[in-house]
């Protein structure tokens, strides 16, 4: 994912880890690029983006507004139209381009000269080239000028026209997923099941889009494929990207192992269960009891006997899913707090790790928590901090110091110079 962002100095160089890169500018703003696949499965990220797009499209519209568009959508439609029909330019812009080319030939081009535009429309449909494939200076400059104004022209003249609802549609007897034809399906029995899955009499199908970081992950390139081994007769969609037939289960078109596919049901995009086990991001939770399962948050769940914690770890390949029981946690009294902290009747925890006694334990904010004997930031003890006098600074944003006690000041769990 490309993530241009202005961070005004809050994120120091080198803070972004993993397969990421950040370029810093003089005003302490940065443009960052983060590899989504190192954080979660690309298909799940794409599904969440699609969900956001659908939410925007289905939101309430103001009177007179025919359609809502996400950032980049109008530009993408205009780019496709300009590639197909040409880049719209007004007459004055074309005259300015020719004038600039003439001045270039005379050798007296003025750097930084401005184009003067008006509202009279004209459209450039082609480029002239010199004999023997050599482009004239005027044509070369015209190419450069058209490239420079293409985006501006696309944004200014873009339309936002109504489209059919649902990504699967039939055009002249051929089924399509968005604009991608699916000629190999049985058109007579083909049935869309949701925005990802469909089936015909013989096979089940999954559609997905790939996205390019250069396009801010907003432009889809779609493909549809048959699900290998799927039984069309028993194939059903469960929601949140899940589907099953009598023998197998799928998430975002990828098959994963379950104990009993026929009884599989979905809690949300994180949890699913069948009659024998609970699954966390499609990974089986060993020893889990689906009959007494309780979802606590995206990382914690429990049953009558145990509390479980799971996490998704970035890795050079696919993300690694780790999930298991928290040793010694009391399921009856266990509760999830803020900032990944939790506690039961005896102990406090952070991200599934025990921190010690739960006596007096409370979450303070800014990643801090404290018990009667220790202060923590992000689950790590803050060396030398005094729990009795430790407090969060109300003006933390002003100078970056977010906490203090009677003896010292702290920023993100580290002591900083100066007195409270």
The confidence band for 265, taking pLDDT boundaries of 50, 70 and 90, is very high
pLDDT in tens, 384-406: 999 999 999 877 656 778 999 99
Q: Is pLDDT of 163 > 50? A: no
Average pLDDT, the chain: 79
CA dist list (Å): 76 to 47, 79, 222, 283:
19, 5, 15, 37
Structural tokens at position 116: 């003067």
Q: Which of 11-15, 198-202, 371-375, 400-404 has the lowest mean pLDDT?
A: 11-15
Instruction: List the Cα angle 176/203/182 in 5-degree steps.
Output: 15
Quote the radius of gyration of the chain (alpha carbons, Å): 29
Give yes or no for a contact between 87 and 146, defined as CB atoms under 8 angstroms apart.
yes
Q: How many residues does the chain have?
A: 420
Would you give the distance in Å from CA 45 to the centre of its chain? 5
What are 148's strand-pairing partners? none
Which residues have a Cβ under 8 Å from the Cβ of 184 and sit 6 or more positions away?
226
The pLDDT confidence band at residue 32, using thresholds 50, 70 and 90, is low
Instruction: Work out the percent of the chain whose per-residue pLDDT is above 70.
Output: 75
This prediction's pTM: 0.62
Domain ranges in the chain?
Answer: 2-58, 73-157, 335-416
Q: What is the pLDDT of residues 177-233, one digit of tens each?
A: 988 999 899 999 999 999 999 999 999 999 988 777 777 777 778 999 999 999 999
- Tokens 């024998």, located at residue: 276
Measured CA angle at 87 (ends 85, 89), to 5 deg: 130
Residues 380, 368 contacting (CB under 8 angstroms):
no
Distance from C-alpha of 369 to C-alpha of 341, rounded to nearest angstrom: 8
Give me the phi and psi of 211, to 5 degrees please: -130, 150
Mean pLDDT of 99-107: 78
What does the pLDDT average to over 17-36? 50
Tokens of 42: 């690309």
């Amino acid at each position: 994912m490309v993530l241009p962002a202005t961070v005004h100095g809050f994120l120091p160089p080198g803070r972004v880890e993993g397969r990421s890169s950040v370029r810093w500018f003089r005003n302490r703003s940065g443009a960052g690029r983060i590899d989504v696949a190192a954080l979660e499965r690309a298909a799940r990220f794409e599904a969440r983006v699609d969900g956001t797009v659908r939410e925007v499209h289905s939101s309430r519209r103001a009177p007179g507004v025919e359609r809502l568009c996400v950032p980049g959508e109008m530009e993408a439609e205009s780019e496709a139209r300009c590639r197909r029909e040409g880049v719209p330019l007004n007459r004055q812009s074309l005259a300015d381009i020719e004038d600039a080319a003439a001045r270039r030939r005379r050798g007296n081009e003025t750097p930084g000269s401005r184009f003067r535009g008006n509202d009279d429309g004209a459209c450039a449909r082609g480029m002239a080239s010199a004999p023997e494939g050599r482009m004239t200076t005027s044509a070369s400059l015209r190419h450069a000028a058209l490239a420079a104004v293409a985006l501006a022209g696309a944004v200014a003249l873009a339309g936002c026209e109504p489209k059919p609802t649902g990504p699967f549609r039939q055009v002249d007897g051929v089924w399509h997923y968005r604009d991608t034809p699916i000629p190999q399906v049985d058109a007579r029995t083909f049935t869309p099941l949701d925005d990802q899955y469909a089936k015909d009499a013989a096979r089940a199908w999954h559609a997905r889009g790939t996205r390019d970081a250069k396009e801010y992950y907003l432009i889809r390139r779609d493909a549809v494929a048959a699900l290998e081994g799927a039984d069309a007769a028993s194939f059903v969609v469960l929601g949140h990207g899940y589907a099953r037939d009598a023998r197998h289960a799928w998430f975002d078109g990828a098959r994963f192992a379950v104990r009993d596919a026929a009884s599989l049901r979905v809690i949300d995009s994180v949890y699913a269960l069948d009659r024998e086990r609970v699954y966390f991001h499609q990974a089986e939770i060993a020893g889990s009891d689906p009959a007494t399962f309780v979802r606590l948050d995206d990382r914690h769940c429990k049953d009558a006997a145990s509390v479980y914690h799971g996490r998704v770890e970035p890795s050079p390949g696919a993300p690694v899913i780790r999930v298991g029981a928290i040793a010694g946690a009391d399921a009856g009294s266990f509760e999830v707090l803020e900032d990944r902290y939790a506690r039961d009747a005896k102990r406090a925890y952070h991200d599934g790790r025990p921190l010690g006694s739960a006596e007096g334990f409370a979450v303070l904010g800014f990643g801090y928590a404290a018990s009667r004997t220790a202060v923590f930031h992000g689950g790590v003890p803050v060396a030398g901090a005094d729990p009795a006098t430790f407090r969060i600074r109300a003006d933390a944003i002003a100078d970056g110091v977010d906490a203090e006690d009677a003896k010292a000041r702290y920023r993100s769990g580290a002591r900083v110079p100066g007195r409270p």
